[in-house]
A and B are shown apart, each in its own frame.
Chain A
Amino acid sequence: MNNTSENVAAYNFAYLDEQTKRMIRRAILKGLAIPGYQVPFASREMPMPYGWGTGGVQLSAATLTPDDRLKVIDQGADDTTNAVSIRKFFEKTARIATTERTQEASVIQTRHRVPETPLTEDQILIYQVPIPEPLRFLEPSEVETRKMHELSEYGLMHVKLYEDIARHGHIATSYAYPVQVEGRYVMDPSPIPKFDNPKLSDCAAIQLFGAGREQRIYALPPHTRVVSLDFEDHPFDPSKADAPCALCGDTHSYLDEVITDDAGTRMFVCSDTDHCQTRRAAGHDKEDAA
């Protein structure tokens, strides 16, 4: 135990060295100044594989102060591998307090969900982003996509939605649903369900997006207008499973479908574990919905 803490003391606060954190903070400030614009930054190797949130971790490391309280969400849950290991990482390298409660946290790193509890001015929400470029699967050239952002040529984004409707009869994109920020940049909101898209708009908290492998940071300052793209005759629909939560009975939260046996039995439960627990502690249960 002693040995471990000595090793930890050899790390700078929150793992990254101060110069790196300054570099990342500069990128964050630039991102906040140009909402939705992807700022390139010199992403560092982190002690975890790409795809596990290296972008988000670097943003957290650059944002955390010793007084902060960190919450980490993985697909809405606080208790899955990704969330637990990132939380432990900062407990160890920054020795900061952590929490599972959304209200108590000052910095929230999230993978693919926005908390159900509305965020406040005192909070920062950090998203882990795999592919920051919303146009990537339509236009493989980075030179070309940057040019398209520069000139606001976003017709191609609607081609993707057109293809969805032509093939499925409705816009079948259900996560990483493209948004336009303040009428300017089209942005990938990271693979959050489209149910969460409306929460991005006019959010009181600062929202930061980090893609470690792709070396991009982008940001939404508080109360930024974010609009999900759609067609006049096929408007955006933030859909979710049409059921109440089987544990807390909430009819308004985003639900995970859990298969409970091999005979097709299933249950729907809140994806946001903190939200569900808070409701159950307050005496709500599945009878609520009825």
Chain B
Amino acid sequence: MTPLLDVRAITKTYGARIGCKDVGFTLWPGEVMGIVGESGSGKSTLLGCLAGHLAPDTGEVLFDTRIDGPRDTLTMSEAERRMLARTDWAFVHQNARDGLRMGVSAGGNVGERLMAVGARNYGNIRARAEDWLDRVEITADRMDDRPGAFSGGMQQRLQIARNLVTGPRLVFMDEPTGGLDVSVQARLLDLLRGLVRQMGLSAVIVTHDLAVVRLLADRLMVMKDGHVVEQGLTDQVLDDPQHGYTQLLVSSVLQV
């Protein structure tokens, strides 16, 4: 079996400062990888490099494309990379407003990716948008409302629907539950877990919330100051942390 994503020695520096250094991992089909660490540890820089938003200084990101097999996305043409980004990849932003078109109705937001890959039948686009809104628990009567009229949790669910409608194989998530209150978080996590399992998605989730990775991630990578300090199975890392920083991170979680 070929790994879906094979990341090799990614380094990104901002001048003299290190964004992330020498990061590598493999992601297998259907697997969810969690990346945790404090603010400034290079999580988002790494995710940006993987998703093609940032150009790393060195390294390779091999993605198993449907047609040509594993290819380095960093050396692809921009047209190919953008095509991947709207078909096989999805990117869920921390702030739903970054990932949504606020001036376009919920249905239009979900339909955009379909139209971007050539769907030209209004009835079909609308039916699929409705189906996806239903899957993320947004009722059909809110379909023609703009995202501005939605609550934070709904906006985040809308963003997820918009990303998953083209049936991607790899989802990048940057703090998908950030800024949501705990009950909304719980529902969102429940939804995400269901979708990931049901669609057999692979995902890379960046978060500082250990509860999120405990629920969603199969494997875990702990980052500090741009370096990976520990990685392994989620339960193993969280229940028996080896590195000093991981121990600190795990013991910092408030118990209610």
Contacts and interface: CB of A to CB of B under 8 A. Distances in A.
Given A232-B120, A234-B122, A159 B101 contact: yes
B120 to A, nearest CB: 5
B43 interface: no
B111 A159 contact: yes
Given A151-B78, A151-B82, A155-B115, A162 B120 contact: no
8 contacts: A155-B117, A159-B111, A162-B111, A163-B104, A167-B105, A232-B120, A232-B122, A233-B122
A153 B82 contact: yes
Contacts of A231: 120-122
A32 B48 CA distance: 40
Closest A-B pairs by Cβ, 3 of them: A155-B116, A155-B115, A231-B122
B108 A153 contact: no
Interface string A218-247: 000000000000011110000000000000
B112 A156 contact: yes
A165 interface: yes
Nearest to B118: A155
A158 B78 CA distance: 22
Given A151-B78, A159-B101, A166-B107, A232 B116 contact: no
A159 B102 CA distance: 13
B21 to A, nearest CB: 30
Contacts of A151: 78-79, 82
Contact of B107 (A138, A155, A162): A162
A231 B124 CA distance: 10
B61 interface: no
A251 to B, nearest CB: 30
B121 A159 contact: no
B144 interface: yes
A160 to B, nearest CB: 8
Given A163-B104, A167-B144, 16 more contacts: A147-B78, A153-B82, A153-B116, A158-B115, A159-B104, A162-B108, A162-B126, A165-B122, A166-B105, A166-B108, A166-B144, A231-B120, A231-B121, A232-B122, A233-B121, A234-B122
A159 B122 contact: no
A189 B152 CA distance: 39
Interface of B: 78-79, 82, 86, 101, 103-105, 107-108, 111-113, 115-118, 120-123, 125-126, 143-144
Interface residues of A, number: 17
Nearest to B109: A159
> Which of A156, A166, A167, A233 gathers most chain B CB within 10 Å?
A166
- Classify the secondary structure of B's interface with A: helix
A155 to B, nearest CB: 3
Nearest to B77: A151
B121 A156 contact: no
Given A232-B121, A233-B122, A159 B79 contact: no
Interface in A139-169: 147, 151, 153, 155-156, 158-159, 162-163, 165-167
A159 B120 CA distance: 10
A232 B118 CA distance: 12
Contacts of B112: 155-156, 159
Contacts of A163: 104-105, 108
A231 B123 CA distance: 9
A166 to B, nearest CB: 5
Contacts of A153: 82, 116
Nearest to A234: B122
Contacts of B118: 155
Nearest to A157: B115
Contacts of B107: 162, 166
Nearest to B106: A166
B66 to A, nearest CB: 19
A138 to B, nearest CB: 8
Interface in A112-157: 138, 147, 151, 153, 155-156
A129 B121 CA distance: 31
Nearest to A231: B122
Nearest to B122: A231
A18 to B, nearest CB: 40
Contacts of B78: 147, 151
